[in-house]
Amino acid sequence: MTISRSRVLIVLLLSMLIRVPSLKAQSQSPIILEVDATQAPQKIIHTHMIMPVSPGPLTLYYPKWIPGEHAPDGPIVNMVGLKVKANGKIVPWRRDLLDMFTFHLDVPQGVKTLDITFDYVEPEVTSGFSAGASATDKLVVISWNQNVLYPAGRLAQDLIYKASLKLPEGWKFGTALPVESQNGNQIEFKPVSLNRLVDSPVSAGEYYRVINVTPPGEPIHHEIDIAADSEAALNMSPELQKDYTNLVAESGKLFGTRHYRDYHFLLTLSNHVAHFGLEHHESDDSRTNELALIDPQQRLNMAMLLPHEFVHSWNGKFRRPKDLSPPYYEEPMKTDMLWVYEGLTEYLGDLLTERSGLWTPDQYRENLALIAARYGSGRPGRTWRPLIDTADAAQILYFAPNQWVNWRRGVDFYDESVLIWLEVNTIINQQTHGKKSLDDFCRLFYGGPNEGPQLKTYTFQDLVNALNQIAPYDWAGFFHKRLESTSPEAPLGGIEASGWKLVFTSEEPALMRNSEEVHEEIDETYSIGLILKNDGTVEDSIVNKPAYEAGISPGMKVVTVNNRQFTPEVLRQAIRAGTTSKEPLRLLVLNDDYYKTCTIDYHGGERFPHLVREAGRPDLLDQMLKPLAAH
């Protein structure tokens, strides 16, 4: 069953009546929000708000659950300097004792507006998504949720904000937020609802470039807005511009419609900001290395970033699981459907990466082989933690360390779901005798007229019903089996049904070598079971693999290999030499303050995952990878 718009409204109204604690501050006048980012290079952003209020008790919220981050990670610790005034006099506030994001105050009689000022101080840490470092000497990304308070008692879609932004002199900017006027470095935005505001970040910088990536004949404007730490970093090649234009064209063919007025890829290139991608309905906030456009290795490493975030405009923003769509930012999210929200986005994003030319078909298959291996023998944690629990526990797993990820599991609902959605695609093919594919599902589930950035929520049953319209099948049974499995094997049915199989050889795939070099690490997961930094520090030791059995764990440091000083190449050569030697591998390992020798009796040589064709089966993968648009 598909929830109609009127049903959605009833649900939202009910949740407002039942859950919202206060009905104060109901004035329809917009809340004035003035953000001063002129000191962004000094890592401090100033906010001044003028909020219409009524006398009496008032509760103010700082956004806690951040859309797209699926976690209560609003950076409250960096919101400082809070002062509230009425008619020039201080109004005292008190933080809620149970919720750190909630402030209580008493509005004096006769007061119609509050003056609220506070600062957002930029952290230096490059972890934590949008709450991580967001400003450098030359650029800033303004995530409005960090610079806003809102009154309890109203839904985010009903609170109207009139925002303005002051930038350092001479900086340029990009955003999906409609601009009303600009006077030098002062930008006035049109009034919008709080959820539109929070969904429309601004990137700005001294070195800034706007690249039009609207394909010929496409009526909706698309652009890449690049802020970088240097002029040279903005130099996107014409070939790469063409690939991103292809990406826009391919998305149009895949979904058949769009649900935005125009689209801004906000791309921030700096080694001093957090690196991640965060989706929005009419833009994305993607941040990566300064040289990502001009260094071929880094460019390849970020190939899937923009396609993934772009797909979210349909899958995640237009269509979103109901439990991931709370009506205001203090209400918790339930994240059990992230295998669709993120997993299907990952599958479609990878397909669009290849169809647009950002990857070759070989690179797509190399990536698929890596996923098949990593979430199989590289993830013994799958024997205790089913995939669904990685989604249920997303709010803690996003912030888990890399160490022990093989046994803990991480946010595996991204990549393991690629295998599941590939299998869905092959089942649709089988059930319809080759007449339909997941592309048809995309046009059905994400279709409908473009009414701008609308939200249409769905449930598990809605998803199953839509798939049944494309190809009748026991989809609920299929998903439950895949999501609840504790088998040690990754689900490879999709790879096999599309005419390929996973094998291991001693030859390292180029994509894997590229990733190792970019991340300065060495991946011997499928031989001795270790991932190490280039200095020998153990990132992960796969439980029950030879190195783990020999006593090696994450955090230890390999110092020598067969008595020779460790380098990545020395270790690789020793593993290879083991195939023709009876001698075990001897690693001298530093564990805290103590050295110990670990003896690994392994003679299998280096092992890397590849896909090879299965004779006699048609190549469905080749069919899926064919571009849909003329390039």
Q: Which residues bind Zn ion (CB under 5 A)?
A: 342
Q: How far is the CB of 490 from Zn ion (least distance, A)?
A: 21
Nearer to Zn ion, 233 or 394 (CB): 394
Question: At 536, is the secondary structure helix, strand, or coil?
Answer: coil
Q: How far is the CB of 346 from Zn ion (least distance, A)?
A: 7
Phi, then psi, of 409 in degrees rounded to 5? 75, 155
Q: How far is the CB of 232 from Zn ion (least distance, A)?
A: 29
Q: How far is the CB of 411 from Zn ion (least distance, A)?
A: 10
Question: At 101, is the secondary structure helix, strand, or coil?
Answer: coil
- The set of long-range contacts for 569-576, using a CB threshold of 8 Å and a minimum separation of 24, is 571/522, 571/524, 571/532, 572/522, 572/524, 572/606, 575/524, 575/527, 575/528, 575/602, 575/605, 575/606, 576/506, 576/605, 576/606
Nearer to Zn ion, 250 or 342 (CB): 342
Question: At 266, is the secondary structure helix, strand, or coil?
Answer: strand
Nearer to Zn ion, 354 or 524 (CB): 354
CB of 536 closer than 8 Å to CB of 518 = no
Q: Which of 191, 101, 176 is nearest to 145 (CA)?
A: 101
User: In angstroms, rounded to a whole number, what is the distance separating the alpha carbons of residues 199 and 490?
Assistant: 36
**DSSP result, 309-335:** HHHTTTBTTTEEEGGG--SSTTSPP--
**Neighbour-count burial of 170, counting CB atoms closer than 10 A to its CB (0-12 exposed, 13-18 middle, 19+ buried):** exposed
Nearer to Zn ion, 312 or 545 (CB): 312
Residue nearest to Zn ion (CB): 342
Q: How far is the CB of 107 from Zn ion (least distance, A)?
A: 40
Q: How many residues does the chain have?
A: 631
Q: How far is the CB of 339 from Zn ion (least distance, A)?
A: 12
User: In angstroms, rounded to a whole number, what is the distance separating the alpha carbons of residues 269 and 575?
Assistant: 38
CB of 187 closer than 8 Å to CB of 167 = yes
User: In angstroms, rounded to a whole number, what is the distance separating the alpha carbons of residues 567 and 535?
Assistant: 7
Nearer to Zn ion, 229 or 342 (CB): 342
Nearer to Zn ion, 320 or 610 (CB): 320
Nearer to Zn ion, 290 or 342 (CB): 342
Q: How far is the CB of 127 from Zn ion (least distance, A)?
A: 17
Q: How far is the CB of 395 from Zn ion (least distance, A)?
A: 15
Nearer to Zn ion, 206 or 342 (CB): 342
